[in-house]
Amino acid sequence: MASLSLPRVLQSKKNNLDIEHENLIKNMTMSISKALSVQEMPIKVKHVRAAIIGTFHSKGGHAFWAIAIRQPIQDNRIVAWKFCHLLHKILREGHPNCCQHSMRHRSMLTEAGKLWGHLNDGYGICIKHYTKLLVTKLEFHDRNPGIPGSLALKPGELEKIGGGDINFYFQLAVEIFDYLDDIIALQATIFNSITTFCVSSMTSAGQCRLAPLIPCIQDSNPLYDFVVRIMFKLHANLPSDLLTGHRERFRTIFHQLKSFYNQSRNLQYFVNLITVPKLPDAPPNFEQQSDLGNYQAPVVVMPDSDPMEHDTESVVSDSLIDTTEAAPPIPELPVNHHHHNNVQQAAPPSAALSKQVLELERLLKDRDDLIRHLQMEIERLTNYVKSLTIEQRDVQHRLEDQIAQLNSHLTDTRAEVSNLRIQKEELELRAQSAPTLEQKAQAEEERAKASEEKFQKLKSMYTQIRDEHVKLLRQTKFHEYKISCYRQHGEIGKQLAASSKAASDATKAKEELRVQLEEIQQKQAVVEEQLQQSSSEAKREQEVVVEELKAITEKYETLQSKFEEMEANRQAEIAELRISKERVEEELSTFQSERDALQTEKGALESSLGEIQQERQELAQQYEDVLGKLATLQIKTDEHSKEEVALQQSVSQKTQQAQELVDKLDHLQREYESLQQRHTELEAAKAAQEQQFNRIHEEDLLKLDSLQGEMDLLSAEKDDLLAVKEDTCAQLITLQTESSQRSADFDSLEKDLKNVIEQKDHELEELRAKHQELEEKYQSLDANMDRLLAEKGAIESDLQDLLHQQEQMEHKYQDALETIKSLENCLVDSKISGETALRTLLEACIKSSEKLTLRAISENEMPGAGGTPTYFLMIAEELQEVLSKLAIVHENYLKDNSTNVESLARKVIIGAHLLASAHVQGMSICNRSANIECGERIAEEIKELSGSITGLFQSLQKTSESANVSEKITDLKTKLQAVTEMIGDLSKQTDGTENLGDLVENELTSMDKAIEEAASQIEEMLSKSRASDSGIKLEVNEKILDACTSLMQAIRVLVQKSRLLQSEIVALGKGSASAKEFYKRNHQWTEGLISAAKSVAQGANFLVTAANKTVSGGARHQLDLIVAAQEIAACTAQLVVASRVKAPRGSQNLAALGTASKNVTQATGIVVATAKDCSQRLEDSQDLDLGSLTVHQAKTKEMEIQVKVLELEQALQMERMRLAAFRKKNYQSPVED
């Protein structure tokens, strides 16, 4: 019976929900594919409507995206453009979860926009702007989940979303401006492409470009209404200067939006599709709140579609209202016809009992179905609770991220406050040191002025002295003229003596005046230098102080502005946290409502469970009634002895069934208790989730309070900084007053300087008499002239020496040029020789590569040789020779001082190729080896060999390790020899893979012979039975042998189909190789075929033996025949599986093999059913004559039968255990012939 029900179990049955889901996906795929066609025409409304309805059926956008990402969006520009239009419609009119489900695909939209943005045919730039608009729309709805995708809000909902927070409205206005900018950019690009390519709006190409403007108009109209109301609210709560940027941006968007509407209104294409709104001539005046009362929101009107479409939409909307999941249908169990037939065959007195038992079974089935239905409902509820917990966890993570951001902002503000404190202290120190700097600057300025005035006076005195000196010279000349006159005339000598004395006094006075003048000039030079230094230093210090003050004040102002911005951002973040808090509270309320709904569902489930318990009690009562009736029947059996035996069988069956019913009731009771326990666990988990959520919510509130306290501290520090600023301003005022006092002191010092200058004038008058000493100065100048002439002669002699040295350097330069030319000639010669050597080396490499290539081509002509131990041994032998030659060539290369490169390069290239081939072939042999342990050992040796190979090539590359090359080659040869010996030993160990092809053919041939012999033996047994038996035994034997004959015929057909499929597999998989080579490559599959063929042959022999026993031995050998039939069916199933492993999916032979396998299964079931029926008939023919027995004899016979039943049950249990052990052992070590 198990073999009969196996195909039914294997068949995959789908319920109504799966079929409905598949139909939905199929229809949605067809609609989206038709909507995204490559034809340049607008999307049809029915396709868009079907996609929108699909989002409501799938409760989101996952199904839409699963279909859309398979469309050629990045291959065709028309498809990409229509996809953007369709996605815009889905986001507007689809399920509310579409925006949330589409957030993960923003990167795909951005990449598509970048890809098509490089295309300059009109569609590329339009697609780029459209994808940017869609990403902006998704981010806008993600930041504002209260605003639906259609942007349709009822009156008062915008204020409810904002919650009276002016920061939220400020930010929302900026986001709406960005949204409108993207819409305006898209429409400008579309109209520009239409005018550039001269496309008409009444053609399909023009309509394909203009169709997306309809959802753009539908989006821009409510956005304009939102931003107008938000601007009036902002102007009512904020100063007008703060909103200047908002007003300018709104004015620009207003004019662009108005021109967009006017341009769209003039197109004939939009006349029947949409009523474009009309904006006023001038934008609203937000500074006058009275304009809000005169404001009228623009309206967009979409004309109604035809009546048929409207009816279908109403039906769809009605069907979309109830989005709850339908309860899974209660499956119907098949009726047990065999048991029904047995009941009909029972005696007439037990008919009522059988009806009651059937009624009990029906009730139990109904109860099982109800329990299964309740389990499915509980599973659905648990999944829903899990989804709620996941959403709650996401909200918790989001709040934690916001708190972390606030903490980071708080640390930044603390750092800035500490910086402000440090700068404040520096300002205080600078302010304290500023008065001393100003005093120094003023003192230096006064000194500079005094020295400058003194210099001017000295200069004027010098001019006066020079004039007086000229006058004195003239007087001396006049006196000399007088003396000469006196000498000529010989007059008085007193006047001469007086005049000579006066001349000597004049020269002395002149000398003294000259000395004083030099001292004054030196003092004046020193004073000028000091004055210049002090004035420059004072000016620099003053400029540094002024610049530092300016920088500090600017930095203070920037920090103050940053602090104000941070405070505004902090307020905005606090507002966002409050909004998120309200959102969490709303979600908590929805969670509580859903929890109440779950409670009600729990009550309903408990009531249904109570009904089930009541039905169980009723069933128990009916069971007790049945037991009572059975007792009465037992009394009647004593009175009616003739009917006792027949009724005893029915009563035993009914008691067994009743016991099964009791067991089922106990099982149901346990299931109910487990469901109750699971329900309590779910309630506990739910309560724990609620406690965790409340705890997290309280922690968030505490963190918000702590943040508010820190904000208060920051505001206090801000007030302290403002006070410090006021103090610094007061100090600057005091500094200005002190500077005015310093200017007054400067005036007094100037007066003192004037007095000093007058005194100096008197001193200069005393020095006028000493002007004659200036003549000596001219004499010193003459002496200096002579000295300079001497120095000039010395310099000329040095110049002659330098010219001589220059001539010597030129001779050396010519010699160096000659040596350079000789070196260049040598370099050219060496380059030519190097090029010839490189050319010879290149030719050697090319020849070696050519030989290797020809060798590989010749090897490819023998594909079966690769991967065999023989081929590896041939490569290894050649490699040993090449390595020996490589060692000799390398030694010669070292002896010749690296001149013989050609032979070394050839040997290295050939050796590398052979090493690589040996490595590849060795690993191939390891992978194909049936002896896994030996293959692993060889693989380890090959890995060590690869390490030696890398070491050898490293030694060949490095000149420092050239002495180790011979050792590395010797080591490599020893390891290669070890690998060669191991592979040679492996080739000697014949694992049977070489003869797998012949073995498969032999086993299949022997299987065919076994099947033919089994069929012929069954026919012989049939003929013998007809000759020797008669009556019921002949009829039974004919039925059994006919069933076995049909089974053998089905197996013969199955084997033939299997042979055809195997031939097809070998023909497709062998390629250019032979069939035996294919079997050898796939030795595991081949061994499976061999094992299956052996099992089928053994099963055929076993079936013949069992049939012979059954025909000759009677009813006690019927089980042998059943077991043999099931065993040969299992063997054929093994053969089918072994044939199906490598079969192509679309093969006709594979389908024929499946049909033959089903026929074998049916024939096996017929054999089993025939054997059971014939056994029953033989047992009925051998029944005792119960009428001749007394009551005592019948009771004794009953006890003997019960003892025999117990013995048989115990023997059956033992045989089952032996069978399990035998199968386990047979699985571990399969039986061989």
The 10s digit of each residue's pLDDT in 301-319 is: 877 544 333 333 333 333 3
To the nearest 10 degrees (0 to 180), the angle between helices 77-93 and 16-35 is 130
Choose from 135-149, 950-964, 1166-1180 the range with maximum mean pLDDT: 135-149
Q: Is the pLDDT confidence value at 52 over 80? A: yes
Q: Is the pLDDT confidence value at 1121 over 80? A: no
Q: Is the pLDDT confidence value at 42 over 90? A: yes
Q: What is the pLDDT of residue 44?
A: 92
- Which residue do the tokens 């089903």 mark? 1158
Q: Which of 269-283, 734-748, 961-975 has the lowest mean pLDDT?
A: 734-748
Q: Is the pLDDT confidence value at 79 over 70? A: yes
- Which residue do the tokens 């009036």 mark? 232
Alpha-carbon separation of residue 714 from 360, 718, 1075, 1175 (angstroms): 80, 6, 88, 99
Q: Is the pLDDT confidence value at 799 over 80? A: no
Contacts of 578 by beta carbon, 8 Å cutoff, 6+ apart: 163, 165
Q: What is the pLDDT of residue 111?
A: 92
Q: What is the pLDDT of residue 228?
A: 93
Tell me the backbone φ, ψ of residue 301, rounded to 5 degrees: -115, 125
Q: What is the pLDDT of residue 105?
A: 92
Q: What is the pLDDT of residue 1197?
A: 74
- For residues 83 and 71, the answer to whether their CB atoms sit within 8 Å is yes
Q: What is the pLDDT of residue 307?
A: 35
Report which DSSP code applies to 1115: G
Q: Is the pLDDT confidence value at 409 over 60? A: yes
pLDDT per residue over 1056-1072, tens digit each? Answer: 777 777 777 777 765 55
Q: What is the pLDDT of residue 1192?
A: 67
Q: What is the pLDDT of residue 253?
A: 94
Q: What is the DSSP string of 413-482?
A: HHHHHHHHHHHHHHHHHHHHHHHHHHHHHHHHHHHHHHHHHHHHHHHHHHHHHHHHHHHHHHHHHHHHHH
Taking alpha carbons only, the member of 595, 767, 810 closest to residue 693 is 595
Q: What is the pLDDT of residue 343?
A: 36
Choose from 116-130, 549-563, 641-655, 727-741 the range with maximum mean pLDDT: 116-130
Taking alpha carbons only, the member of 259, 308, 369, 334 closest to residue 45 is 308
Confidence class of residue 324 from pLDDT cuts 50, 70 and 90?
very low
- Higher model confidence: residue 859 or residue 241? 241
Tell me the backbone φ, ψ of residue 149, rounded to 5 degrees: -65, -30
Q: Is the pLDDT confidence value at 1050 over 60? A: yes
By three-state DSSP, how is residue 80 classified?
helix
Alpha-carbon separation of residue 563 from 164, 270, 553, 556, 654 (angstroms): 24, 52, 15, 10, 91
CA-CA distance, 903 to 813, in Å (whole number)?
47
Q: Is the pLDDT confidence value at 6 over 70? A: no
Q: What is the pLDDT of residue 318?
A: 36
Alpha-carbon separation of residue 317 from 53, 58, 151, 381, 1097 (angstroms): 9, 14, 20, 26, 66
Tell me how far the alpha carbon of residue 386 is from its chain's centroid.
25
What are the sequence ranges of the domains in the chain? 151-316, 350-766, 843-987, 996-1183, 1190-1233
pLDDT per residue over 454-479, tens digit each? Answer: 667 666 766 776 677 666 667 666 65
Read off the tokens for 481: 């003229």
Q: Is the pLDDT confidence value at 217 over 80? A: yes
CB atoms within 10 A of CB 1135: 27
Read off the tokens for 127: 């697609």
CA-CA distance, 662 to 623, in Å (whole number)?
9
Q: What is the pLDDT of residue 1108?
A: 73
- Higher model confidence: residue 338 or residue 61? 61
Q: Is the pLDDT confidence value at 329 over 60? A: no
Q: Is the pLDDT confidence value at 118 over 80? A: yes
Question: In CATH, which of 1.20.120.230, 3.40.50.720, 1.10.630.10, 1.10.3720.10 is domain 843-987?
Answer: 1.20.120.230
Q: Is the pLDDT confidence value at 1230 over 60? A: no
Average pLDDT over residues 571-579: 68
Q: Fill in the amino acid letter for 911.
A: G
Q: What is the pLDDT of residue 976?
A: 80
Q: Is the pLDDT confidence value at 892 over 90? A: no
Q: Is the pLDDT confidence value at 94 over 90? A: yes
- Write 499-506 long-range contacts (CB < 8 A, 24+): 503/476, 503/479, 503/772, 505/769, 506/472, 506/476, 506/769, 506/771, 506/772
Q: What is the pLDDT of residue 316?
A: 34
Average pLDDT over residues 584-598: 71
Classify 996-1183 by CATH class. Answer: mainly alpha
CA-CA distance, 1081 to 924, in Å (whole number)?
12
Average pLDDT over residues 887-896: 77
- For residues 190 and 208, the answer to whether their CB atoms sit within 8 Å is no
Confidence class of residue 970 from pLDDT cuts 50, 70 and 90?
confident
Contacts of 1068 by beta carbon, 8 Å cutoff, 6+ apart: 1144
- For residues 105 and 65, the answer to whether their CB atoms sit within 8 Å is yes
Alpha-carbon separation of residue 493 from 483, 489, 500, 1183 (angstroms): 10, 11, 11, 203
Q: Is the pLDDT confidence value at 139 over 90? A: yes
Q: Is the pLDDT confidence value at 414 over 50? A: yes
Roughly how many angstroms between the first and final C-alpha of the chain, as a whole number? Answer: 31
- Which residue do the tokens 């009175």 mark? 639
Confidence class of residue 91 from pLDDT cuts 50, 70 and 90?
very high
- For residues 143 and 100, the answer to whether their CB atoms sit within 8 Å is no
Q: Is the pLDDT confidence value at 1147 over 60? A: yes
Contacts of 448 by beta carbon, 8 Å cutoff, 6+ apart: 531, 532, 534, 535
Read off the tokens for 293: 């009362």
Taking alpha carbons only, the member of 1022, 1013, 1033, 1053 closest to residue 1163 is 1053
Choose from 214-228, 424-438, 525-539, 945-959 the range with maximum mean pLDDT: 214-228
Report which DSSP code applies to 199: -
Average pLDDT over residues 223-238: 91
Choose from 612-626, 812-826, 856-870, 1176-1190 the range with maximum mean pLDDT: 812-826
CA-CA distance, 889 to 879, in Å (whole number)?
15
Greatest Cα pair distance, the chain, in angstroms, is 217
Q: Which of 685-699, 958-972, 1156-1170 has the lowest mean pLDDT?
A: 685-699
Q: What is the pLDDT of residue 452?
A: 67
pLDDT per residue over 1073-1099, tens digit each? Answer: 566 666 666 666 666 666 676 777 677
Percent of the chain with pLDDT over 70: 60
Choose from 52-66, 425-439, 556-570 the range with maximum mean pLDDT: 52-66
* Mean per-residue pLDDT of the chain: 73
Q: Is the pLDDT confidence value at 516 over 60? A: yes
- For residues 137 and 91, the answer to whether their CB atoms sit within 8 Å is yes
Percent of the chain with pLDDT over 90: 13
Q: What is the pLDDT of residue 924?
A: 75
pLDDT per residue over 981-993, tens digit each? Answer: 787 776 665 444 5
